[in-house]
A and B are shown apart, each in its own frame.
Chain A
Amino acid sequence: MSAATIFGLCAAAAVGLGLYGLITNPQPLRKILAFNLLGSGVFLVFGVVARRGAASGFGGDPVPQALVITGIVVAFSATALAVALLLRLFQATGSATLRAEAPPRTGSDATAA
C-alpha cells in the first residue's frame, strides 16, 4: 500500500467524521471544530492527488499543493469569523446555541429595520 492509498483512506475517514460532527453536535464550537476536521480531510485528498501527480523531478504536483495552502488560509479566516460571532453571541445572550426559537409573535421589535 503506497502512501497515497493509506492517506487517501485516512482523508476520506476524516471527511466522514467531520460531516458527522458538524451535523450532530449541538454546540457551535464543536461544529466549528468538526468543520476544521472536515476541511483538513478535504485538503488531505488534495495532497493525495498531488502525490500521485509526482513527475519531472518534483515529489508532487505543485498545483494542488498551492491550492491547499490557499484553502488552509481561507478555512482559518472562516474559523476566526465563526469564533468571533460565537463569542459575541455568548456575550449578548449568555448561551451559545443555534436552536431556532419560535419567531416572535408580534412584529413590534423596537429596533431599526
Chain B
Amino acid sequence: MIPHSGPVLEAATTGGSLLVLALVVPLVGVLLAFAAGGRQVERIALATMPLGLAIAVAIAVVMGQTRAPLVYLLGAWAPPLGVALRADGLSAVMMAITALVICAIGVFAHADFRTPAGSLEARAPFAFWILLLAIWGALNTVFLAGDLFTLYVALELVTFAAVPLVCLDGRAETLQAALRYLLFALLGSVLYLVGTVLLYGAYGTLDIVLLSRRVHPDAATLVAAALMTVGLLAKTAVFPLHLWLPPAHAGAPAAGSAVLSALVVKASFFIVVRLWFDVMPGLPGFTAAQLLAGLGGAAIAFGSIVALRQERLKLLIAYSTLAQIGYLFLMFPLAFNAGSAQLESGGALTGGLLQTISHATAKAAMFMAAGLIYAGLGHDRITGLGGVARALPLSVLAFAAGGVALVGVPPSGAYLAKELLLQAAGETEQWWWAAVIQAGGIFTAGYLVLVLAHAFAPADEPVTLQVRVPWTREAAALALALCSLVLGLAPWEAYLPASRAAPSGPLVLKAFAAAFWPIVGGAVLAVLLGRWGKRLACAPAGFLVATAGPLRRAADVVGRIIERADGTLRQWPAAGLSLLVLAILFGAAMLPAR
C-alpha cells in the first residue's frame, strides 16, 4: 500500500519523468492542434488520447511496482524555492480515470464535432478538441502539482477551458450560464488566492509537503483555511453555492456536459482533499468537518428532490450531479480521528475517492446516453421518453448501468465506497452520517427508477428516430457505464489506503441485498415526487400513481417549497451572501482547534 502522503523526497525518483510527460503531452497536443487547424485538430486530439492513456497507465504500473510515491523536481530546483511534481496513490487513480473518461468522450464526440466536408475549418470542432485537450492537461497538473500556486494556475486553466464548452452551441441561455459560471468561479479562485498569500506570509513556502510540516493554528492560517475552503466549494458547486451548475451542465453539448460533470468539478474537490488531508490535517477540527458534511447532506437532499421534479432529462442529470457532489463531502467527518484531532488517510478517504471515480465514469456515461436520446428523439422531455428503450436499447442500457452503479451494487466502486464509509461511520460512532449515506443511495435510485419507468413504458405513437445514432457512440457510453459497474474489482488497494474487506457470500445475493432497499425506496420517491404526465392512464405504474394521490399532493407541496428555495438561492446576491456567511462560519468552526 502506497502511503498517500509519503516521506519527503528531495530528490527525484525513477520514473519521475513520466510525470512530466503526463503534463506535457496534452499541452503539446493543444499547441500542435492550434497551429495545424482545420481537420488536423481532431486527428491530433484523437492521436494524443491513447498516448496520454498509456502514460497514465505507465505511472500506475511504476507506482504499483515501487510501492512509493513518484517525485520530480522541475528545473532541478528543490522546494521551497522550486516546484515539485508528486504522484501518490490518489494522483495515480485520478489520472487513470481521467484518461479513461477523456478517451471515451473522444470516441463519443467524434460524430458531433467533425469538420463538415467542403469547409476548411469550423468553429465548434476547432474549439471543442482544443478545449478538451487543455482540460486534460490542466487536470493532470492539478493531480500532480506539489505547490499551491501552481495548483491555482492549473485550476484557472481548467475553468477557462471549461467555460467556452458550456456555450459552444451559441444559444442565448447557454451564454448567460457560461458567464455566470465564469464569474462565480473567478470569485472562488480569488478567495483561494487570498489563502495562498496568507500561507506564504506565515510559512515562507507554498510546497504542500513542507507546509504540512510547518503548519500550526494561528490567525493567518485559520483565515487562509476558511477562505480557501469556501473558494473551492464555490468552484465545486456545493450547496448553497450551486447557482451556476444546473444551467451550465444542462446547456452544454452532450460531450461537454460529460466532461464538466465527470471531471471538471472534481478538480477543485481534489484540491480540497489535498488541503484538508495533506496540508493541514490537524487544523479543521471536528466542527468544521461536520459543517462541510452538513453542506454535503443538504446538497443530497436538495439536489435529489429538485432533480426528481425536473421535466428535462439533462436538467435531471445536472441536479443529480449536485447531489452526488454533496455525497463526496460526507467522507470528511468520517476520516476525523477524535483522539489525535486529525484527519486521517484511511478507509473514509478511500471511500470518498472510490465514490469520486465511480461518479466520474457513471455520470459521463449517463450524460452521453442522454445526449444520444436527445439526438434520436429530438427532445429530452422525461414524460415523452416512452418507447425509447425499444428504439435506442444500448443508450438506455448505458443509462441504467451507470445509474445502478451509482446506487451501489457490487462489484461497483460506489458499493465499495458505501461499505467503507459505513464502516468508518460505525468506527467513529457518527450514526447520523450513516443515515445520510443510505438516504443518498435511495435518492439516487429515485431518479433512476423515474427515468427508466418512462423509458420502458410503451409509446403512444411509434418512435421514429430523427437521426441515425451510430453504434460506436452508444458503445462508448455503454463501455464507460460497464466500467463503473466493475470498478470495485480493480487493484485499488495498491494505491488507496484501506484494506479490502473479505468477500462473503455469493456476489449475486449481495448484489440483490444491496440494491433491494434503495430501489424500493427510490421507487416510492419517484412515485411521490416525479412527473408522470400521461402515464397516469396506463397500469400498473398508473395504478400506483393514482392510489398514492393524497400522498403525491403532499409531496408536491414539499417539492414546490424546495424548488422555490432553490430558485431563491440561485439568485446571485443570495449565493454571494451564502458564500460570505460560509466563510465566516468556517473560520469560526476552525477556531476551537487552536
Contact = CB atoms under 8 A, between A and B. Distances in A.
The reply, when asked whether chain A contacts chain B directly with Cβ atoms under 8 A, is yes
B370 A49 contact: no
B74 interface: no
B298 interface: no
Nearest to B374: A113
Contacts of A24: 573, 576
Interface of B: 81, 112, 149, 153, 156, 160, 163-164, 167, 169-173, 175-176, 178-180, 182-183, 186-187, 190, 193-194, 197-198, 200-201, 204, 243, 247, 253-254, 311-315, 370-371, 374-375, 378-382, 384, 567, 570-573, 576-577, 579-580
Interface in A63-99: 63-64, 67, 70-71, 74, 77-78, 81-82, 85-86, 88-89, 92-93, 97-99
A24 to B, nearest CB: 6
A51 to B, nearest CB: 11
Contact of A85 (B175, B194, B243, B370): B175
Contacts, number: 133
Interface in A11-33: 15, 19, 22-24, 26, 28, 31-32
Contact of B194 (A26, A42, A97): A42
A98 B183 CA distance: 10
29 contacts: A22-B183, A23-B573, A23-B576, A24-B573, A28-B183, A35-B187, A38-B187, A39-B190, A42-B194, A45-B198, A49-B200, A63-B81, A67-B149, A78-B156, A85-B163, A85-B178, A85-B182, A89-B179, A98-B572, A99-B572, A103-B247, A103-B315, A107-B313, A108-B379, A108-B381, A109-B171, A111-B169, A113-B254, A113-B314
A35 B169 CA distance: 27
Is the contact region of chain A dominated by helix, strand, or loop, or is it mixed? Answer: helix
A28 B179 contact: yes
Nearest to B254: A113
Contact of B153 (A32, A70, A108): A70
A100 B184 CA distance: 14
B175 A89 contact: yes
Contact of A15 (B176, B179, B194, B572): B194
Contacts of A49: 197, 200-201
Interface residues of A, number: 49
A32 B175 contact: no
A1 interface: no
A53 B585 CA distance: 31
Nearest to B198: A45
A35 B370 contact: no
Nearest to A22: B187
B375 A112 contact: yes
B69 to A, nearest CB: 25
A112 B172 contact: no
B122 to A, nearest CB: 14
B156 to A, nearest CB: 5
B580 A23 contact: yes
A111 B171 contact: yes
A106 interface: yes
B570 A81 contact: no
B577 A100 contact: no
Nearest to A38: B190
Given A45-B201, A113-B380, 4 more contacts: A81-B163, A82-B179, A98-B572, A105-B311
Nearest to A74: B156
Given A24-B573, A35-B190, A46-B197, A78 B182 contact: yes
Contacts of B81: 63
Contact of A52 (B201, B311, B382, B580): B201
B167 A85 contact: yes
A97 to B, nearest CB: 8
Nearest to A105: B311
A42 B197 contact: yes
The 3 A-B pairs at the shortest CB distance, nearest first, are namely: A23-B576, A113-B374, A107-B381
Between A15, A98, A99, A111, the greatest number of chain B beta carbons within 10 A of the residue's beta carbon is seen for: A98
Contacts of B179: 28, 82, 85-86, 89, 98
Given A64-B197, A64-B200, A100-B570, A113 B187 contact: no
A8 to B, nearest CB: 10
A13 to B, nearest CB: 14
Contacts of A109: 171, 379
Given A64-B197, A113-B253, A113-B380, A107 B311 contact: yes
Contacts of A35: 183, 186-187, 190
A37 B391 CA distance: 55
B371 to A, nearest CB: 4
A35 B188 CA distance: 11
A92 to B, nearest CB: 5
Contact of B175 (A46, A67, A92, A106): A92
B163 A32 contact: no
B88 to A, nearest CB: 25
A106 B580 CA distance: 36
A112 B377 CA distance: 11
B197 A100 contact: no
A113 B190 contact: no
B193 A89 contact: no
A63 to B, nearest CB: 8
A78 B382 CA distance: 37
Given A28-B179, A42-B194, A85-B182, A112 B169 contact: yes
